[in-house]
Structure 1
Amino acid sequence: MTKKAVLIGALDTKGQEFLYVKEKLEACGVATLMVDTGVLGNPLFQPDVSASEVARAGGSSIEELRSTNDRGTAISVMTRGAAEIVAGLEKQGLVGAAFGMGGTAGTTVAAAALQGLPIGVPKLLVSTVASGNTKPYIGVKDVTMMYSVVDIAGINQLSRRILSNAAHALAGMITYMDTEQETVEDKVTLGITMFGVTTPCATRVRETLERYGYDLLVFHATGTGGLAMEELIKAGYIQGVADITTTELADHLVGGIFDAGPNRLEAAGRSGIPQVVSVGALDMVNFGPPETVPTQFKERSFYQHNPTTTLMRTTVSENRELGRLLATKLNAGTAPTLVVFPKAGVSLLDMDARPFDGKEERQALYEGIKEHLRSNIPMIDMEEDINDPAVADVIAENLHKLLELNKRG
């Protein structure tokens, strides 16, 4: 069955542009499949999946959407419908790549469908909003966004060049996706969380586990990094975790910008995969430039990590609650789990004579974990700080042991 480039968009208002991209792709030898999401009128050309089918998949009908004439409702329905249709095409093995374009509405509709596809399937969005906040459209998937520069409204000297580039980029991705892929051994894939202030630990853990033959995925704990790892665990891509840097819990609790949401640190436990967890960078909450720090925190301790990142020291009470949260999340899982607590510091800033050195804060964090952690989840106390090689070695060796035991059943 031939995989195709699935095009998702409104053929009543963007038909000319989609026809141009479709013809460019087909000229490159790439088969296409057009999903129409237009509500206002008839399509410029015949799609493979009609707007009526998309509306039904979204829980309504074209007739109802047109009679209601509510733009917000129409976008919501077609967003759900497009995601449902494309997911169905993926299950049939038809999706080799996916493409969408538009303004905020067209980008929203197509992005939902693209985010539902597995990581590795080429995904490209040409959008008027690609130079702004792209997080809602990319989520935690490998979506490529191209800024359209001008509005997507007709084929002109500039849009022709941009859409041609987009079509040829997608054609290249789908054509060479398999042929250019290196043949690799079937390795067990592990996830590691890292931050700048836990890099020495994460690097040594990665290098040790690589010597054991594992394939390592390293996630920067910036909110989306943690979310991406959790999604890959749920999808079955990751078979074990060295969750060294759990700092996203602090941002979620206090209101920092690197919040990974309420379900961080839960996927491994629910999936039953081995995990070694530590408390990396729980000494800090992340904000943007100094002027973006909420006024209620003005009396707190800060460290200017760089011009765009301001770090705020977590308090004793926050650390006690973070310990409780971490323990509660681990208690709810069924995975083989071990906690490593470095008593001399949880980051490069939380060490003797460093800006965030906090013995009371670390003690509160420790007590919060110890008081609430299930008795059958081991916790190894270490006198060193998190970036000491001894801590990294304990994390790596214990994860390897858990994986070996898990493999034996």
Structure 2
Amino acid sequence: MSHVVLAGALDTKGAEYAYVRDLLVEAGLRPLLVDVGVRGDPQTRPDVTRAEVARAAGRAVGEIAGLPTRGEALAAMAEGVAALLGSLRDTGEVDAAFGMGGSGALSVLAPGFRALPLGVPKMIVTTMASGDTRPHVGASDLLLVPSIVDIAGLNTLSRFVLDRAVAMLGAQLGRPVPSAAGGDGAPMVAASMFGVTTVGVSRACRTLEARGLDVLVFHANGLGGRTLESLAADGWLSGVLDLTTTELADDLAGGVASAGPDRLAAAGRRGIPQVVSTGALDIVNFGAPETVPEPYRERRLYPHNATATLMRTDPREAAALGERLGAKMSAARGPVALLLPTGGLSALSEPGGAFHWPEADAALERALLDSLAPHVAVERSPAALNTPEFGERAARLLLTLLASTSAVH
């Protein structure tokens, strides 16, 4: 019988949670009702009390209830929910998670829900299921279901929405979770790609697929990099072809495509074989021209389209990126190789391109090589990164690393 963590504020939505609990039982599932309310008394008896949730956050429930603002109390309970779900995950007592409510419920539940592994069904029925949901969903498979009406009592429409939501959850639990071996048993490999590195990365992907690998391609736009890191951290990947590391440039210079400071960390920590390159480190991404920060207005800019303006990294920024990339690769616990391109980091920085700047590329390479630990293998390709020749060599290099770890024979 599948365990479903049913978490919410039972002081305001006790009847609604009792209704969903009964639906889950009727569906043959085992709900664990968790109270995250902090103000009034619970309207429905929970299986896990708010005091236990508070203790999971290292605090007393009275202390949380007495915090000066509602936001502080919600943040504290969010820590408790995340800690509780982590413990239940470790003991195998959570197969799915379900919640409902508005912005407050999202702030309490979403951090813990999205930390559950990919494939564990996680759903929140909410009034906040439209608009910018990235802060709540992140790089997870958390499903936000529009509640249509406010979750403030049971009525014909709210029952209809909750009935459908529970049915969707049950359907997800009835499907096997994919394994790290991929749908057909092939090892899964992640590849990072951007528009200006598509030619090289696409060739690499075809070569890997021809060898029977299941290749997942991630657009290096911030969310793509975070998703790649999440899958690597959760043990889904057998290898990483990280040719497009441009998100580091956005993190350094304040661009819109940053994947955060932990980009290029998870695979190294897990010891997953990696081939890494400097793809599109010549680029920082901004929105429409008027969104480019004032200090950058006089820099070398390229209008990619009406809503995307690219900025060329200068020699100082390139050197800083080389140091960052070198430090991240040096921290890897598994096989890692650097493949350096000759003649351009992207389609824009090849000879004759808008971002061709040999001095900046040289500064990047010097700082990168100076920052590498001895265990990092280094190879130089005579081809530019965005070429089939470079992609072919990168794929074969990764295949060699995978063979050394028996991931591919």
**TM-score, normalised to structure 1's length?**
0.91
Equivalent residue, structure 2, for 1:144: 143
Q: Which amino acid aligns with 2:400?
A: K
Unaligned residue ranges in structure 2 (runs of 5+): none
Q: Does 1:59 align with 2:58?
A: yes
- Which one-letter code corresponds to 1:143 in the other structure? L
- Identity over aligned pairs, percent: 43
Q: Which amino acid aligns with 1:52?
A: A
2:333: which partner in 1?
334
Question: Which string of whole-angstrom CA distances, capped at 9 and with x for unpartnered residues, describes residues 123-148 of structure 1?
Answer: 11222333233222222221111233
1:406 equivalent to 2:398? Answer: no
Aligned ranges 1:197-346 → 2 under 5 Å: 197-346=196-345
For residue 396 of structure 1, report the CA deviation from its aligned partner.
0.6
Residues 70 and 372 (structure 1 numbering): CA distance in 2 closer, same or farther, change over 3 Å? Answer: closer
CA distance in 2, matches of 1:188, 1:81: 36
C-alpha deviation, 1:177, in angstroms: 4.2
Q: CA deviation at 1:359?
A: 2.7
Cα shift at 1:9: 0.4
| 1:100 counterpart = 2:111 | no
2:366 paired with 1:397: no
* 1:146 match: secondary structure: strand
Partner residue, 1:168: 167
Q: Which amino acid aligns with 1:137?
A: H
Give the CA deviation at 1:159.
Answer: 3.4
Any idea what SS the aligned residue of 1:278 has? strand
Q: Report the alpha carbon displacement of residue 276 of structure 1 after superposing the two structures with TM.
A: 0.9
Task: Provide structure 1 residue ranges, at least 5 long, that are not aligned to the other structure.
Answer: none
Deviates more, 1:276-285 or 1:57-66: 57-66
1:32 equivalenced with 2:31 (yes/no)? yes
Q: 1:177 to 1:184 in 2, by over 3 A?
A: closer
Deviation at 1:149, TM superposition (A): 4.3
Aligned to 1:116: 115
Equivalences for 1:78-93 in 2 at 5 Å? 78-93=77-92
* 1:258 match: secondary structure: coil
1:387 deviates by: 2.0
Indicate the RMSD between aligned Cα atoms, in angstroms.
2.4
Q: What is the CA–CA distance in structure 2 between the aligned matches of 1:28 and 1:119, rounded to whole Å?
A: 23
- Tell me, yes or no, if the aligned pair for 1:192 and 1:241 is still in contact at 8 Å: yes
Measured at CA, do residues 88 and 332 of structure 1 come closer, stay the same or move farther in structure 2, by a change above 3 Å? Answer: closer
Bigger mean CA offset, 318-327 vs 184-193: 184-193
SS in 2 for 1:101: strand
Shift of the alpha carbon at 1:16?
A: 2.5
Measured in 2, the distance between the counterparts of 1:96 and 1:378 equals 41
Query: Partners in 1 of 2:156 and 2:295 — Cα distance?
Result: 51
**Counterparts of 1:266 and 1:183, CA distance in 2:** 23
Give the aligned residue type for 2:332.
G
Residues in 2 aligned to 1:160 and 1:291: alpha-carbon distance in whole angstroms:
47
Worse-superposed segment, 360-369 or 382-391: 360-369
Greater Cα shift, 319-328 or 55-64: 55-64
Q: 1:335 to 1:4 in 2, by over 3 A?
A: closer
Render the CA deviation track for 1:64-113: whole Å, top value 9, x for unaligned.
33455642342123112212222222233232211112222211111122
C-alpha distance 280-66 of structure 1, shift in aligned 2 (>3 A): closer
CA contact (8 A) 1:100 1:124 kept: yes
User: Aligned AA for 1:208?
Assistant: T
Deviates more, 1:388-397 or 1:353-362: 353-362
**Relative to 1, partners in 2 of residues 1:352 and 1:67: Cα closer, same or farther, differing over 3 Å?**
closer
Separation in structure 1 between the aligned mates of residue 72 and residue 341 of structure 2, nearest angstrom: 52
Distance change (3 Å), C-alpha of 1:183 and 1:362: closer
- Alpha-carbon distance in 1 for matches of 2:70, 2:371: 49
> What amino acid sits opposite 2:308 in the alignment?
T
Distance 1:284 1:67 in 2: 48
CA–CA separation in structure 2 for the residues paired with 1:68 and 1:366: 51
**Structure 2 vs 1, CA of residues 151 and 303 (structure 1 numbering), >3 Å: closer, same or farther?**
farther
